[in-house]
Amino acid sequence: MPDPDDPLAAPALLARAQAGVEKLRGFLEPLARQFAARGESLYLVGGPVRDAMLGRLGSDLDFTTSARPGVIAEILGQWGEKTWDTGIEFGTVSTVKHGQMVEVTTFRADLYDGVTRNPEVTFGENIEGDLVRRDFACNAMAIELSLVDDALAPSFHDPVGGLNDVLRRRLDTPQAPEVSFRDDPLRMLRAARFVSQLGFAVSDRVFEAMREMAPEINRITVERVQAELDKLMLGQRPWEGLDLLVDTGIAEHILPELPALRLETDEHMQHKDVYRHSLTVLRQATELEEDGPDLELRWAALMHDIGKPATRAPKEGGGVTFHHHEVVGAKMTRKRLRALKYPKHVIEDVGQLVYLHMRFHGFGEGQWTDSAVRRYVTDAGELLPRLHKLVRADCTTRNARKAQRLQRTYDHLEERIAELAAKEDLARVRPDLDGNEIMSILGLSPGPDVGRAWNFMKELRLERGELPREEAVAELKKWWEEDNG
């Protein structure tokens, strides 16, 4: 980003936005021509304009127009490849063309009742009235796609100073933040999302309004809160967005386990508190991602220590312990993600990662037996690659030698996994005898006894590895005799 105090900085940002539009000229010009033929104006608006200034214009394009919804639907139906009108009652019609997602909305002039967040949908008459009602000034800029001699001639509209906010990487509201957040409290959560996605900081007045109005977030449905949290968690700097939610008190209403960590000092006394440690682990986990943002890994990194407040106990000789915090934390994690209405597979995966994150620390250097390796891999299952990243991210000690030793020890574990995997199919560890064989050998009918016998054989397989059939049969019979003797 250019120096905000440089007089050439603002023109440079504007030029960058115009260059982004120019690259899409072949795409935008025919669309603008369709609206102009109906006597309607068309504007590229909001996030795409901001992102073009930041050099990150994507494939989702938002437009606003003077045209009413029926006209938009007719135009996009002819121009687009596939069109959706599920939002037409709110003035929005969507389409896709050449891989670009396009959403066009009639100018809005909504009124809010201040109780729910559902507006009385009212269509506006001009671009300025539409822009001033948007969430943040940096999202309240538009580029008019006007035509001169049938050629695209873009012009810039910025009635509330959004360009200056982008230049200063600031989040501020077009109206007083109290008015904006009372209209739609979700905007407070959206502020934290933009902090994560864009690296912007909220203005002082926005911060104060968020802190004073934090309870208003309870007016928002859980589904919409979850959707914003997802976007925040998948941003470039989620720890900064979460920090804003905690500092303003909003997290107390939607993720209370997180601010609760501020009360605890971790057992190594290396971090100000477990809260800061958790944000550090989240940051380090994102640095280990290989194929883009991983929502489940990030949630596990954030929540891995939330069981510590409930398990805190004084340690003889000073300090504190948090025995079995991973067990308690896994239960708390599942409960919170259920409350946020996450899908079952996300709840289970994140909970299991939290449950397993301390398993590695139960073994000293060089003490990974074949049995321990099998159990580690089997318990992690498909989550093993994520567990590797989570455990490595959790090594946050400031003691350089200790950090290197922990990483070497985990290197050794991964080497042991690879060595054993070369000999055995660790991803599919099964008892040497299946249920039908167990019933035949012991003369059993289907029932609980078969399940107990199968579990014994599974434990035997984990402990001793694959056995010859004769030995497996002998061990099963011996166990059965002792169990029923």
- In the prediction, which pLDDT does 315 show? 77
**CATH for 9-168, among 3.40.50.1970, 3.40.50.720, 3.30.460.10, 3.40.50.300?**
3.30.460.10
- In the prediction, which pLDDT does 271 show? 44
User: Could you give the residue ranges of the DSSP H alpha helices within 255-303?
Assistant: 257-260, 274-288, 295-303
So what CATH class is 177-254?
mainly alpha
- In the prediction, which pLDDT does 270 show? 46
Tell me if domain 9-168 and domain 177-254 are identical in fold: no
Contact 45, 62 (CB under 8 A): yes
Listed as ranges, residues in the chain with pLDDT below 50 are: 270-271
- In the prediction, which pLDDT does 295 show? 98
Antiparallel, parallel or unpaired: β 313-314 and 155-157 = unpaired
Domain ranges of the chain: 9-168, 177-254, 257-427, 431-483
- In the prediction, which pLDDT does 176 show? 95
Is domain 257-427 given the CATH code 1.20.120 in the classification? Answer: no
Return the percent helix, strand and coil in the chain, to nearest 5.
60, 10, 30
H/E element holding 191? Answer: helix 186-198
Contact 124, 105 (CB under 8 A): no
- In the prediction, which pLDDT does 117 show? 55
Question: Exposure string (b/e) for 7-38, b if CB count within 10 Å is 16 or more?
Answer: eebbeebbeebeebbeebeeebeebbbbbeee
pTM of this structure: 0.84
